[in-house]
Chains A and B, each alone.
Chain A
Amino acid sequence: MFKTADMLNIFQKYRGDAIVVPGRGGRHWINISQKPKLDVPLGDPAMGGHCAFAFGLAMALPHRKVVLFDSEGDLQMSLGVLMSVAEQKPANFYHFMLDNECYATTGGQPVPNAKNVQYDLIAKGSGYPRAFAFDELDAFAKALPDILEQKGPVFVAMKVVPEVENEAIGQRKRWMTRTRTQAINDLRQELRIA
Protein backbone atom coordinates (compact mmCIF):
# COMPACT_ATOMS: atom_id res chain seq x y z
CA MET A 1 0.00 0.00 0.00
CA PHE A 2 1.07 3.60 -0.56
CA LYS A 3 -0.23 7.02 0.31
CA THR A 4 -2.65 8.69 -2.08
CA ALA A 5 -0.87 12.04 -1.80
CA ASP A 6 2.50 10.46 -2.68
CA MET A 7 0.97 8.82 -5.73
CA LEU A 8 -0.68 12.06 -6.85
CA ASN A 9 2.60 13.95 -6.48
CA ILE A 10 4.18 11.51 -8.91
CA PHE A 11 1.22 11.68 -11.29
CA GLN A 12 1.39 15.46 -11.33
CA LYS A 13 4.76 15.33 -13.11
CA TYR A 14 3.22 13.46 -16.04
CA ARG A 15 -0.21 15.09 -16.10
CA GLY A 16 0.42 17.27 -19.13
CA ASP A 17 -2.80 18.94 -20.27
CA ALA A 18 -5.06 16.14 -19.14
CA ILE A 19 -8.39 16.90 -17.54
CA VAL A 20 -8.37 15.40 -14.05
CA VAL A 21 -11.45 14.20 -12.19
CA PRO A 22 -9.84 13.59 -8.80
CA GLY A 23 -12.77 11.79 -7.15
CA ARG A 24 -11.90 10.67 -3.62
CA GLY A 25 -8.36 11.93 -4.13
CA GLY A 26 -9.65 15.47 -4.47
CA ARG A 27 -8.67 16.59 -0.96
CA HIS A 28 -5.02 15.95 -1.83
CA TRP A 29 -5.09 16.83 -5.51
CA ILE A 30 -6.42 20.31 -4.81
CA ASN A 31 -3.09 21.10 -3.11
CA ILE A 32 -0.94 19.36 -5.69
CA SER A 33 -2.44 20.32 -9.05
CA GLN A 34 -0.77 23.08 -11.00
CA LYS A 35 -3.62 23.40 -13.49
CA PRO A 36 -6.77 23.77 -11.40
CA LYS A 37 -8.87 24.99 -14.31
CA LEU A 38 -8.40 21.58 -15.92
CA ASP A 39 -9.52 19.85 -12.73
CA VAL A 40 -13.06 18.81 -11.94
CA PRO A 41 -13.13 18.24 -8.18
CA LEU A 42 -16.72 17.39 -7.38
CA GLY A 43 -16.49 15.88 -3.92
CA ASP A 44 -19.20 13.26 -3.90
CA PRO A 45 -22.34 14.31 -5.82
CA ALA A 46 -23.78 10.80 -5.49
CA MET A 47 -21.75 7.72 -4.64
CA GLY A 48 -20.93 5.37 -7.47
CA GLY A 49 -21.04 7.90 -10.28
CA HIS A 50 -17.50 9.22 -10.61
CA CYS A 51 -16.49 6.79 -13.34
CA ALA A 52 -19.65 7.37 -15.35
CA PHE A 53 -19.21 11.15 -15.15
CA ALA A 54 -15.57 11.02 -16.24
CA PHE A 55 -16.46 8.54 -18.98
CA GLY A 56 -19.09 10.96 -20.28
CA LEU A 57 -16.57 13.77 -20.18
CA ALA A 58 -14.06 11.65 -22.11
CA MET A 59 -16.62 10.89 -24.82
CA ALA A 60 -17.48 14.59 -25.09
CA LEU A 61 -13.83 15.65 -25.40
CA PRO A 62 -12.14 12.90 -27.41
CA HIS A 63 -9.05 14.96 -28.21
CA ARG A 64 -8.16 15.58 -24.58
CA LYS A 65 -6.94 13.01 -22.05
CA VAL A 66 -9.35 12.52 -19.16
CA VAL A 67 -7.85 11.02 -16.00
CA LEU A 68 -10.12 9.76 -13.23
CA PHE A 69 -9.18 8.78 -9.66
CA ASP A 70 -12.05 6.47 -8.80
CA SER A 71 -12.39 4.43 -5.60
CA GLU A 72 -13.18 0.77 -5.05
CA GLY A 73 -16.25 1.64 -2.98
CA ASP A 74 -17.63 3.73 -5.82
CA LEU A 75 -16.80 1.13 -8.42
CA GLN A 76 -18.35 -1.74 -6.45
CA MET A 77 -21.56 0.28 -6.46
CA SER A 78 -21.53 0.62 -10.26
CA LEU A 79 -19.53 -2.24 -11.71
CA GLY A 80 -21.64 -2.26 -14.85
CA VAL A 81 -20.05 0.99 -15.95
CA LEU A 82 -16.94 -0.97 -16.87
CA MET A 83 -18.87 -2.72 -19.64
CA SER A 84 -20.22 0.59 -20.95
CA VAL A 85 -16.72 2.07 -21.04
CA ALA A 86 -15.29 -1.01 -22.70
CA GLU A 87 -17.99 -0.95 -25.36
CA GLN A 88 -17.39 2.70 -26.27
CA LYS A 89 -13.59 2.38 -26.02
CA PRO A 90 -12.73 6.04 -25.31
CA ALA A 91 -9.07 6.19 -26.32
CA ASN A 92 -8.53 9.23 -24.10
CA PHE A 93 -9.84 7.71 -20.85
CA TYR A 94 -7.46 6.76 -18.01
CA HIS A 95 -9.28 5.11 -15.15
CA PHE A 96 -7.18 5.01 -11.98
CA MET A 97 -8.78 3.47 -8.89
CA LEU A 98 -7.83 4.01 -5.25
CA ASP A 99 -8.38 0.80 -3.29
CA ASN A 100 -8.14 1.37 0.46
CA GLU A 101 -10.28 -1.71 1.18
CA CYS A 102 -12.79 0.28 3.21
CA TYR A 103 -15.37 3.08 3.33
CA ALA A 104 -12.98 5.63 4.81
CA THR A 105 -15.44 8.49 5.00
CA THR A 106 -17.87 6.52 7.15
CA GLY A 107 -15.34 5.29 9.68
CA GLY A 108 -13.37 2.60 7.86
CA GLN A 109 -15.80 -0.29 7.59
CA PRO A 110 -14.58 -2.85 5.00
CA VAL A 111 -16.08 -2.93 1.51
CA PRO A 112 -17.46 -6.35 0.50
CA ASN A 113 -14.67 -8.93 0.25
CA ALA A 114 -12.26 -6.04 0.82
CA LYS A 115 -8.92 -7.84 0.64
CA ASN A 116 -9.71 -10.37 -2.04
CA VAL A 117 -10.94 -8.49 -5.10
CA GLN A 118 -8.76 -8.17 -8.20
CA TYR A 119 -10.22 -5.11 -9.84
CA ASP A 120 -7.75 -5.16 -12.72
CA LEU A 121 -9.03 -8.60 -13.67
CA ILE A 122 -12.63 -7.40 -13.46
CA ALA A 123 -11.78 -4.46 -15.74
CA LYS A 124 -9.98 -6.77 -18.14
CA GLY A 125 -12.86 -9.24 -18.10
CA SER A 126 -15.27 -6.40 -18.78
CA GLY A 127 -13.41 -5.55 -21.95
CA TYR A 128 -10.82 -2.94 -21.00
CA PRO A 129 -7.92 -3.68 -23.34
CA ARG A 130 -5.32 -2.66 -20.77
CA ALA A 131 -5.44 -3.05 -16.98
CA PHE A 132 -2.77 -2.85 -14.29
CA ALA A 133 -2.49 -3.24 -10.51
CA PHE A 134 0.05 -1.75 -8.12
CA ASP A 135 0.65 -2.03 -4.41
CA GLU A 136 4.14 -0.51 -4.35
CA LEU A 137 4.82 3.12 -5.15
CA ASP A 138 8.16 2.53 -6.86
CA ALA A 139 6.61 0.13 -9.35
CA PHE A 140 3.77 2.57 -9.99
CA ALA A 141 6.18 5.47 -10.56
CA LYS A 142 8.24 3.42 -12.98
CA ALA A 143 5.24 2.28 -15.02
CA LEU A 144 3.22 5.50 -15.04
CA PRO A 145 4.83 7.32 -18.01
CA ASP A 146 4.27 4.34 -20.25
CA ILE A 147 0.70 3.84 -19.00
CA LEU A 148 -0.19 7.41 -19.89
CA GLU A 149 1.19 6.93 -23.39
CA GLN A 150 -0.99 3.90 -24.04
CA LYS A 151 -4.28 4.12 -25.88
CA GLY A 152 -7.28 4.12 -23.59
CA PRO A 153 -9.36 2.99 -22.01
CA VAL A 154 -6.75 2.01 -19.44
CA PHE A 155 -7.54 0.76 -15.93
CA VAL A 156 -5.09 1.08 -13.03
CA ALA A 157 -5.90 -0.37 -9.59
CA MET A 158 -3.81 0.91 -6.69
CA LYS A 159 -3.70 -0.25 -3.08
CA VAL A 160 -3.65 2.90 -0.93
CA VAL A 161 -3.48 3.57 2.79
CA PRO A 162 -6.93 4.25 4.30
CA GLU A 163 -7.44 7.77 5.60
CA VAL A 164 -10.34 7.08 7.90
CA GLU A 165 -12.57 9.91 9.03
CA ASN A 166 -14.65 9.61 12.15
CA GLU A 167 -15.78 13.18 12.75
CA ALA A 168 -19.40 14.00 12.12
CA ILE A 169 -19.76 15.16 8.52
CA GLY A 170 -20.89 18.61 9.60
CA GLN A 171 -17.70 19.09 11.63
CA ARG A 172 -15.24 18.06 8.93
CA LYS A 173 -13.04 20.64 7.30
CA ARG A 174 -14.32 21.37 3.79
CA TRP A 175 -11.58 20.98 1.23
CA MET A 176 -13.46 22.13 -1.87
CA THR A 177 -12.70 25.75 -2.73
CA ARG A 178 -15.17 25.97 -5.62
CA THR A 179 -18.74 24.82 -5.99
CA ARG A 180 -19.30 21.86 -8.30
CA THR A 181 -20.94 23.97 -10.95
CA GLN A 182 -18.13 26.54 -10.72
CA ALA A 183 -15.54 23.81 -11.28
CA ILE A 184 -17.41 22.66 -14.40
CA ASN A 185 -17.86 26.22 -15.63
CA ASP A 186 -14.14 26.91 -15.15
CA LEU A 187 -13.29 23.84 -17.21
CA ARG A 188 -15.70 24.85 -19.96
CA GLN A 189 -14.25 28.34 -20.02
CA GLU A 190 -10.70 27.01 -20.13
CA LEU A 191 -11.57 24.73 -23.05
CA ARG A 192 -13.78 27.35 -24.71
CA ILE A 193 -16.84 25.14 -24.62
CA ALA A 194 -19.91 27.20 -25.45
Chain B
Amino acid sequence: MNDMVTTQHLSPETVLAQMKKHGVTHVVWLPDSETNWLYLLMQAEPTLTLVAVSREGLAASIAAGLAAGGKKPLILIQNTGLMESGDSIRGWLLGLNIPVVLMVGLRGWTRHGVTQDTAAVYTERFLNAFNISYYLVESDADASRISVAFEEAEKTNRPVAVLVGDEYHGFMTK
Protein backbone atom coordinates (compact mmCIF):
# COMPACT_ATOMS: atom_id res chain seq x y z
CA MET B 1 0.00 0.00 0.00
CA ASN B 2 2.78 2.41 0.95
CA ASP B 3 4.52 1.64 -2.30
CA MET B 4 1.44 2.82 -4.14
CA VAL B 5 1.51 6.12 -2.21
CA THR B 6 5.19 6.71 -2.81
CA THR B 7 5.14 5.96 -6.50
CA GLN B 8 1.85 7.45 -7.66
CA HIS B 9 1.72 10.64 -5.60
CA LEU B 10 4.08 13.34 -4.51
CA SER B 11 4.58 13.00 -0.77
CA PRO B 12 5.60 15.92 1.44
CA GLU B 13 8.41 13.83 2.92
CA THR B 14 9.95 13.54 -0.52
CA VAL B 15 9.85 17.29 -1.09
CA LEU B 16 11.25 18.02 2.37
CA ALA B 17 14.06 15.55 1.77
CA GLN B 18 14.96 17.43 -1.40
CA MET B 19 15.02 20.72 0.48
CA LYS B 20 17.37 19.27 3.09
CA LYS B 21 19.55 17.59 0.48
CA HIS B 22 20.13 20.94 -1.20
CA GLY B 23 20.69 22.94 1.98
CA VAL B 24 17.59 25.13 1.95
CA THR B 25 17.67 27.46 4.96
CA HIS B 26 14.51 29.56 4.47
CA VAL B 27 11.18 28.85 2.81
CA VAL B 28 9.52 32.09 1.74
CA TRP B 29 5.95 31.18 1.10
CA LEU B 30 2.27 31.86 0.77
CA PRO B 31 0.02 28.83 1.27
CA ASP B 32 -1.83 27.25 -1.61
CA SER B 33 -3.95 24.19 -2.18
CA GLU B 34 -1.28 22.28 -4.09
CA THR B 35 1.55 22.60 -1.56
CA ASN B 36 -0.29 23.13 1.74
CA TRP B 37 0.62 19.59 2.75
CA LEU B 38 4.18 20.68 3.32
CA TYR B 39 3.35 23.09 6.11
CA LEU B 40 3.33 20.77 9.10
CA LEU B 41 6.53 19.05 8.07
CA MET B 42 8.33 22.29 7.32
CA GLN B 43 7.19 23.76 10.62
CA ALA B 44 8.61 20.78 12.49
CA GLU B 45 11.93 20.88 10.64
CA PRO B 46 14.54 22.68 12.81
CA THR B 47 16.87 23.49 9.91
CA LEU B 48 14.19 25.53 8.11
CA THR B 49 12.94 29.04 8.81
CA LEU B 50 9.49 29.73 7.37
CA VAL B 51 8.94 33.30 6.20
CA ALA B 52 5.31 34.03 5.46
CA VAL B 53 4.36 36.73 2.97
CA SER B 54 1.03 38.32 2.15
CA ARG B 55 1.69 38.79 -1.57
CA GLU B 56 3.92 36.62 -3.70
CA GLY B 57 6.00 39.40 -5.22
CA LEU B 58 7.47 39.98 -1.79
CA ALA B 59 8.83 36.45 -1.81
CA ALA B 60 11.14 37.33 -4.71
CA SER B 61 12.71 40.35 -3.02
CA ILE B 62 12.96 38.63 0.39
CA ALA B 63 14.65 35.65 -1.27
CA ALA B 64 17.05 38.01 -3.05
CA GLY B 65 18.08 39.54 0.27
CA LEU B 66 18.52 36.15 1.88
CA ALA B 67 20.65 34.91 -1.00
CA ALA B 68 22.74 38.09 -1.02
CA GLY B 69 23.45 37.43 2.65
CA GLY B 70 24.62 33.88 2.00
CA LYS B 71 21.49 31.88 2.80
CA LYS B 72 19.64 29.46 0.56
CA PRO B 73 15.98 30.35 0.22
CA LEU B 74 13.24 28.43 -1.56
CA ILE B 75 10.10 30.20 -2.78
CA LEU B 76 6.87 28.25 -2.32
CA ILE B 77 3.86 29.84 -4.01
CA GLN B 78 0.94 29.07 -6.34
CA ASN B 79 0.93 29.77 -10.08
CA THR B 80 -1.58 32.58 -9.54
CA GLY B 81 0.94 34.32 -7.29
CA LEU B 82 3.76 33.56 -9.67
CA MET B 83 2.02 35.63 -12.30
CA GLU B 84 1.33 38.41 -9.80
CA SER B 85 5.07 38.48 -9.06
CA GLY B 86 6.23 39.24 -12.58
CA ASP B 87 8.01 42.54 -12.01
CA SER B 88 9.61 41.36 -8.76
CA ILE B 89 10.92 38.23 -10.47
CA ARG B 90 12.30 40.38 -13.29
CA GLY B 91 13.97 42.94 -11.05
CA TRP B 92 14.94 41.08 -7.90
CA LEU B 93 15.64 37.52 -9.10
CA LEU B 94 16.65 37.77 -12.75
CA GLY B 95 18.09 41.27 -12.32
CA LEU B 96 20.31 40.31 -9.38
CA ASN B 97 21.26 36.85 -10.69
CA ILE B 98 19.69 35.04 -7.76
CA PRO B 99 19.97 31.23 -7.82
CA VAL B 100 16.68 30.13 -6.31
CA VAL B 101 14.10 27.41 -6.83
CA LEU B 102 10.49 28.48 -7.07
CA MET B 103 8.23 25.61 -6.08
CA VAL B 104 4.95 26.50 -7.72
CA GLY B 105 1.60 24.88 -7.09
CA LEU B 106 0.16 24.24 -10.55
CA ARG B 107 -3.49 25.05 -9.91
CA GLY B 108 -5.76 23.74 -12.61
CA TRP B 109 -3.27 21.24 -14.03
CA THR B 110 -4.66 18.07 -15.50
CA ARG B 111 -3.40 15.43 -17.88
CA HIS B 112 -6.94 14.55 -18.84
CA GLY B 113 -9.24 16.46 -21.14
CA VAL B 114 -9.13 20.19 -21.69
CA THR B 115 -7.49 22.45 -19.10
CA GLN B 116 -10.21 24.84 -17.99
CA ASP B 117 -8.42 26.89 -15.33
CA THR B 118 -6.64 29.87 -16.88
CA ALA B 119 -4.16 29.79 -13.99
CA ALA B 120 -2.82 26.55 -15.47
CA VAL B 121 -3.26 27.68 -19.07
CA TYR B 122 -0.95 30.67 -18.65
CA THR B 123 1.67 29.30 -16.23
CA GLU B 124 4.06 27.77 -18.75
CA ARG B 125 3.56 30.69 -21.13
CA PHE B 126 4.45 33.06 -18.30
CA LEU B 127 7.63 31.15 -17.44
CA ASN B 128 8.60 30.96 -21.10
CA ALA B 129 8.15 34.71 -21.44
CA PHE B 130 10.66 35.22 -18.61
CA ASN B 131 12.93 32.49 -20.00
CA ILE B 132 12.72 30.61 -16.70
CA SER B 133 13.33 26.85 -16.88
CA TYR B 134 10.73 24.62 -15.23
CA TYR B 135 10.25 21.00 -14.26
CA LEU B 136 6.91 19.30 -13.64
CA VAL B 137 6.70 16.98 -10.64
CA GLU B 138 3.62 14.85 -10.09
CA SER B 139 4.81 11.93 -7.98
CA ASP B 140 7.70 10.71 -5.87
CA ALA B 141 9.17 9.21 -8.99
CA ASP B 142 9.84 12.78 -10.16
CA ALA B 143 11.90 13.69 -7.09
CA SER B 144 15.11 13.74 -9.08
CA ARG B 145 13.69 16.60 -11.15
CA ILE B 146 13.65 18.75 -8.01
CA SER B 147 17.37 18.07 -7.67
CA VAL B 148 17.86 19.04 -11.29
CA ALA B 149 16.13 22.35 -10.61
CA PHE B 150 18.36 23.11 -7.61
CA GLU B 151 21.48 22.22 -9.56
CA GLU B 152 20.46 24.30 -12.55
CA ALA B 153 19.70 27.33 -10.38
CA GLU B 154 23.17 27.14 -8.81
CA LYS B 155 24.91 26.56 -12.10
CA THR B 156 23.17 29.38 -13.96
CA ASN B 157 22.60 31.88 -11.12
CA ARG B 158 18.99 32.13 -12.17
CA PRO B 159 15.58 31.23 -10.76
CA VAL B 160 14.31 27.81 -11.82
CA ALA B 161 10.73 26.63 -11.28
CA VAL B 162 9.37 23.30 -10.07
CA LEU B 163 5.72 22.96 -11.02
CA VAL B 164 3.81 20.85 -8.52
CA GLY B 165 1.09 19.02 -10.42
CA ASP B 166 -0.34 17.09 -7.51
CA GLU B 167 -2.38 17.77 -4.39
CA TYR B 168 -2.28 16.38 -0.87
CA HIS B 169 -2.96 12.67 -0.55
CA GLY B 170 -1.85 12.06 3.02
CA PHE B 171 1.43 11.47 4.74
CA MET B 172 3.35 8.24 4.36
CA THR B 173 2.82 5.72 7.14
CA LYS B 174 6.02 5.15 9.07
Contact = CB atoms under 8 A, between A and B. Distances in A.
B95 A56 contact: no
A127 interface: no
Interface in A42-67: 42, 44-61
Main secondary structure, interface of A, reads helix
B70 A49 contact: no
A52 B68 contact: no
A70 B6 CA distance: 47
B69 A59 contact: yes
B66 A187 contact: no
B58 A80 contact: yes
Contacts of B54: 80-81, 83-84
A59 B95 contact: no
A84 B65 contact: no
Contacts of A180: 95-96
A115 to B, nearest CB: 26
A78 interface: yes
A55 B62 contact: yes
A40 interface: yes
User: How many B residues touch the partner, as a band?
Assistant: 20 to 34
Contacts of B62: 52-53, 55-56, 81, 84
Given A46-B88, A46-B95, A56 B73 contact: yes
Nearest to B64: A53
Nearest to A64: B69
A189 to B, nearest CB: 12
A151 interface: no
A80 B53 contact: yes
Interface in A158-188: 180-181, 184, 187-188
A194 interface: yes
Most buried by A among B53, B55, B58: B58
A88 interface: yes
A190 to B, nearest CB: 12
Given A45-B91, A53-B64, A188 B70 contact: yes
A88 to B, nearest CB: 6
A87 B29 CA distance: 14
B65 A57 contact: yes
A40 B68 contact: yes
Interface of B: 26, 28, 49, 51-55, 57-58, 60-71, 73, 87-88, 90-92, 95-97
Given A52-B65, A60-B67, A181-B96, 13 more contacts: A46-B57, A48-B57, A51-B61, A53-B92, A58-B69, A59-B66, A60-B69, A80-B58, A84-B54, A180-B95, A180-B96, A184-B68, A191-B70
10 contacts: A45-B96, A46-B92, A49-B64, A52-B92, A56-B61, A56-B63, A56-B65, A59-B49, A60-B71, A193-B70
Q: Which 9 A-B pairs have the closest CB atoms?
A: A56-B65, A60-B69, A46-B91, A80-B54, A49-B61, A52-B61, A45-B91, A193-B70, A57-B65
